[in-house]
Amino acid sequence: MNRITIFSLSLVLMARFSVAATTDKPNVVLIFADDIGYEGLGAYGGLDFKTPHLNQMAKEGLRFQSMYTSSICTPSRVSLHTGTYTFRHKHTDILPVHKGTKQKVDFRKMPTFGQQIQKNGYMTAVTGKWQLATLEHWPNHIREAGFDSWCIWQIWRNGKKTGRHWNPTFNRDGKVLDGLEKQFGPDVLADYVIEKMTEATQVQKPFFIVHNELLPHWPLVQTPQDRALNREATMGNMIEYMDTLVGRILKSVNELGIKDNTYVFFMGDNGLQVSYRNNALYKNPRFGQPGENQHTRHTLKGNVDGAKADLNDAGSHVPFIVWGPKSIPAGGVNQELVDVVDLFETFCELTATKHRVETDGRSIVNQIHGKDGPPRRWVHQGLPQGESIFDGEWRYLIKSEKLIDARKLPKERELKGSELVESKDIIDRMKSLYNRIKSNGPAAPKSVPRY
């Protein structure tokens, strides 16, 4: 038996022969995958990758069709934790933790949902990618963000960047782990998530876990499944293995007997990475068909062009699935716009956590349970090259003043010439909307809705 099989069997035995008590407060797990656009999942009509466990998760849970984030990791993740748009938190570019920067995201000045939920008696934990501070310089940064425990990829150590896949450099609760030379990092993290869920269940304490899944972010590496099958590394194989690990976590929730009291969320932090100049990124015969961009992805509704780091739909449109209690409408699809900033308020309401933090989001707890909730009229993205707002039909790029027709997604079309002139009323409306959003800060009265 391998290590994973033994761990899974021990988990089953614990669930069967011990009292798996639950608490009145619901548990929450957020699986935050690194670089996966909505088109990467079959449940969203994607045709290029195998995601059977995520497809089943959507079948048993609720799929949100229109979740948006900023299209690179740091702005997306800071907006997640603080519930604020990029023009408020000011992090629009990648924090260069991979270069050992002494910069950090200051969560003492910007409250997080982790801090609020931790105060409410939850066991809080976080895994994986933490590109928000260099741990060698700021060893208490994760604790300051509101997490009791962590198993984090320490990106920078002893003057150089480290690895996250095979022989990973992981910091667990302040100590770099030994003995990982032959282990695959994403497996180690999945083990940690299951361990923390098991521990909290045994002591009857509610838990909140942010699982920053390291896949399918480049570099391309062989997964354990690739090695077992003696096949080469591809992006498709990495996505398939990410899907397998999601299945492991969902299975463990079932085996622990806590599904009816545990909300599991899956989403991407931004769109798929496709910046390579050759088809080696995918090694998939579907890519690079005649007349297509060699990095085109295929969906039931058409081709997806563009990618991570673009101010467009492909860069910012990510999967978002909620699974767990029976109160979630199985197989449901919600078409409303959702912004990553909405999760702060959502997580706090789900966990009955009261707070006094002003955010740019709104709770979607009602929508999660198939009910009507406060609608969102736009989503916002911020990057070094500018900002965009999208109202479900039109995308307006603030800095370049471009208007994009997004009424037939995944196709997007920039308006030019006379067509642009004739659309002045739309441009004026989008400009006015942006100015209202920006002037109505988080601490301002809510006479103008921030969402």
Task: Quote the CA–CA distance of 199 and 194 in Å, as a whole number.
Answer: 9
pLDDT in tens, 300-311: 999 998 899 999
Give alpha helix (H) positions in 369-423: 417-421
290 SS3 class: coil
Q: Which residues contact 33 (CB under 8 A, 6 or more apart)?
A: 213, 215, 216, 242, 266, 267, 268, 269
CB 50 within 8 A of CB 240: yes
Query: What is the reported pLDDT for 275?
Result: 54
CA dist list (Å): 181 to 23, 60, 66: 38, 37, 40
Q: Please name the residue ranges forming H helices in 310-413.
A: 313-316, 342-350, 365-368
Q: Which of 38, 93, 36 is nearest to 63 (CA)?
A: 38
Please identify which residue in the block is written with the tokens 């003995």: 179
Q: Which portions of the chain are predicted below pLDDT 70?
A: 1-23, 275-295, 441-451
Give pLDDT, residue 281: 44
Q: What ranges make up the beta strands (E) of 271-323?
A: 297-299, 302-304, 317-323
Q: How many CB atoms lie within 10 A of CB 401?
A: 12
Q: CB-based burial of residue 282 (10 Å sphere; 0-12 exposed, 13-18 middle, 19+ buried)?
A: buried
* pLDDT (tens digit per residue) in 320-370: 999 999 999 999 999 999 999 999 999 999 999 999 999 999 999 999 999
Say if residues 6 and 13 touch (Cβ distance below 8 Å). Answer: no
Burial class of 273 by CB neighbour count within 10 A (0 to 12, 13 to 18, 19+): buried
Cα 255 to Cα 9, 11, 153, 197, distances in angstroms: 10, 8, 28, 11
DSSP bridge partners of 397: 388, 402
pLDDT score at 278: 39
Determine the pLDDT at residue 252: 98
- Count, in order, helices (H) and strands (E) of the chain: 14, 19
Domain ranges across the chain: 25-377
pLDDT at 448: 41
Q: What are phi and psi of 159, to 5 degrees?
A: 85, 10
pLDDT of residue 193: 98
Beta-carbon contacts of 274 under 8 Å, excluding residues fewer than 6 positions away, are: 281, 295, 297, 307, 308
Q: Report how far residue 108's alpha carbon sits from residue 110's, in angstroms, rounded to the nearest whole number.
A: 6
The pLDDT value given to residue 2 = 47
Domain boundaries 25-377, corresponding CATH code: 3.40.720.10
C-alpha Rg value of the chain to the nearest Å? 21
> What's the sign of the alpha-carbon dihedral 333, 339, 341, 345?
negative
**CA gap 185, 180 in Å, rounded:** 8
Question: Which pLDDT score, from 0 to 100, does residue 273 have?
Answer: 87
Neighbours of 231 (CB within 10 A): 13
Question: What are 249's two structure tokens?
Answer: 């976590």
What is the Cα–Cα distance from 41 to 370, expressed in whole angstroms? Answer: 22
Beta bridge partners of 411: 408
Where helices occur in 63-157 by DSSP H, the ranges are: 73-82, 86-89, 113-119, 141-144
pLDDT at 235: 92
Count, residues in the chain = 451
